[in-house]
């Protein structure tokens, strides 16, 4: 074993030396009793491939890069997108969605774009596994639940820090997720019903 005493624990130099290596802490983020890859696996790849994290808030970063990602999507697909605020479903004013971009065809919004400018590890997970991470399923389904005309959702991952693959694009077609759409729609209707019944009892 080699002992390196060139810097103090917790210092910037110490943190830099640890980047891309498996420490005891990182091992806990990699090892899974059930098998499969945990986020620590992708974080090591991100450390080796990505640029240094600049401390920018992830939400601020997402908003800053969204327009760049949308322009790149348009240039790659030839589709023209529109910004939108909030979309309200026809069957309930309490079930809504905030799309990143909408695409109109013959007067109806038949396509939409969800843009993810997230951390490099999450970006690489989507690229390497070539699928939308499970944590985004409900958000993805809400596009279809709220918009009955939606045929295709374009799910875009964008991170210019990963210079080899800054852009990754999935297409989710309504016909492929019909059962899940119905599940999430019914779940929300039943949940709101329960909530409103409780409010009636509590509003005395």
Q: Is residue 148 part of a domain?
A: yes
Q: Is residue 137 part of a domain?
A: yes
Q: Which of 107, 100, 110, 92 is nearest to 149 (CA)?
A: 110
Give me the CATH number covering residue 116: 3.90.320.10
Q: Give the residue numbers spanning the domain of 135.
A: 57-202
The segment with the largest mean pLDDT, out of 36-40, 102-106, 123-127, is: 102-106
Average pLDDT over every residue of 40-69: 72
pLDDT at site 54: 59
Q: How many structural domains does the chain have?
A: 1
Checking if the pLDDT of 74 tops 70, the result is: yes
Checking if the pLDDT of 36 tops 80, the result is: no
pLDDT at site 2: 62
The pTM score is 0.79
Q: Is residue 39 part of a domain?
A: no
pLDDT at site 113: 97
Checking if the pLDDT of 154 tops 90, the result is: yes
pLDDT band at 120 (very low <50, low <70, confident <90, very high): confident
Give percent of the chain above pLDDT 70: 79
Average pLDDT over every residue of 99-103: 95
Mean of all residue pLDDT scores within the chain? 85
Average pLDDT over every residue of 187-196: 92
Q: Is residue 96 part of a domain?
A: yes
Q: Is residue 79 part of a domain?
A: yes
**Angstrom distance (rounded) from CA 194 to CA 147:** 23
Q: Is residue 178 part of a domain?
A: yes
């Amino acid at each position: 074993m080699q002992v390196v005493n060139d810097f103090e624990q917790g210092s910037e130099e110490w943190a830099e030396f640890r980047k891309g290596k498996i420490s005891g802490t990182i091992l806990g983020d990699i090892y899974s009793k059930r098998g499969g890859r945990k986020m620590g696996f992708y974080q090591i790849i991100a450390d080796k491939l990505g640029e240094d994290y600049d401390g920018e808030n992830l939400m601020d970063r997402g908003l800053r890069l969204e327009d760049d990602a949308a322009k790149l999507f348009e240039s790659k697909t030839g589709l023209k997108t529109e910004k939108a605020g909030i979309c309200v479903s026809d069957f309930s004013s309490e079930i809504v969605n905030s799309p990143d971009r909408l695409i109109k065809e013959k007067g109806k919004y038949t396509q939409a774009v969800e843009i993810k400018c997230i951390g490099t590890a999450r970006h690489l997970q989507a690229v390497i596994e070539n699928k939308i991470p499970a944590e985004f399923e409900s958000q993805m389904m809400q596009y279809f639940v709220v918009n009955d005309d939606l045929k295709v959702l374009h799910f875009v991952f964008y991170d210019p820090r990963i210079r080899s693959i800054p852009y990754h694009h999935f297409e989710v077609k309504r016909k492929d997720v019909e059962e899940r759409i119905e599940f999430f729609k019914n779940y929300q209707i039943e949940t709101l019903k329960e909530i409103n019944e409780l409010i009636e009892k509590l509003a005395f």
